[in-house]
Amino acid sequence: MAKVNWGILDGFIGKVGTVVGSFWKGKPVMRAYKRQVSDRNSEAQQLVRTRFGAINSLAGAFLSAIRIGLFEVARRKRTTEGNVFVQENWGCVHADTPGAATVDYTELVIAKGHLPEAQFGAASFADPLSVEVPMTDSSEVIGADPRDKVYLFVYSPEAGAGMLGDVKVRADESIACTVPAYWNGHRVHVWGFAVGAGPDNEGEISNSRYLGSGTIS
């Protein structure tokens, strides 16, 4: 509670709402009240920092994909694709121990929109240093266009990096991504999405689809 020295219009000492009154060199002054945090390094705060660190690292590793897949959402929200990625995927990153985060890759969103999705099969890791995914022609789906671009994205947690594969169209039979030689033996995760390229859907984006995981040979 504040103490008023001489009158209601004069200086005061103590907290009133969100401000604190005091005297400095004989003059009444007022400053904003700062709530004291008892323990800035509590376990709960460490867990939050662990989650933030993990999801920010993911956003950097996924940048080549989310600059395409989350572009429209970021533009509407007047923010960056990285910020959209963090907002969309905060619930996919968990931390039970400070410094150790886990990620539910199956639920990660790397593209978001209303364009019809491409029709992907299961990811294959049979060829050396390559990920291949079969596709079914989806060019006749309402809202789609034969010229739509289809993207494949592969992420290696061990490398902390991801990369886009070759760009295909809906009628192609498969889509692939060749990965660096040092990824040999890495377990990777795979997603696919489409971007409109026709006169009626240019720039529209589909939701991303998680296509599975496997080990690079």
pLDDT at 2: 54
Give dist(CA 115, CA 195) in Å, integer.
Answer: 7
Mean pLDDT in residue range 185-204:
97
Mean pLDDT in residue range 143-149:
97
- Per-residue pLDDT of 65-87, as tens digits, reads 999 999 999 999 999 999 999 99
Mean pLDDT in residue range 88-99:
92
Structural domains in the chain, sorted by start: 3-32 (no CATH), 43-215 (2.60.40.10)
State yes or no: pLDDT of 43 exceeds 70: yes
State yes or no: pLDDT of 207 exceeds 80: yes
Which residue did the predictor score with more confidence, 11 or 65?
65
State the DSSP string of 122-190.
--B--STTEEEEEEE--TTSTT--TT-EEEEEEEETTTTEEEE---EETT-SEEEEE--GGGTT-EEEE
Of 127, 200, 140, 142, nearest to 170 by C-alpha is 140
pLDDT at 44: 82
Three-state SS letters, 182-215 = HHCCCEEEEEEEEECCCCCCCCCEECCEEEEEEE
Q: pLDDT band for 185, please (50, 70, 90 cuts).
A: very high
Mean model confidence pLDDT for the chain: 89
Which residue did the predictor score with more confidence, 1 or 115?
115
Give the number of other Cβ atoms within 10 Å of residue 126's Cβ.
9
Mean pLDDT in residue range 84-97:
94
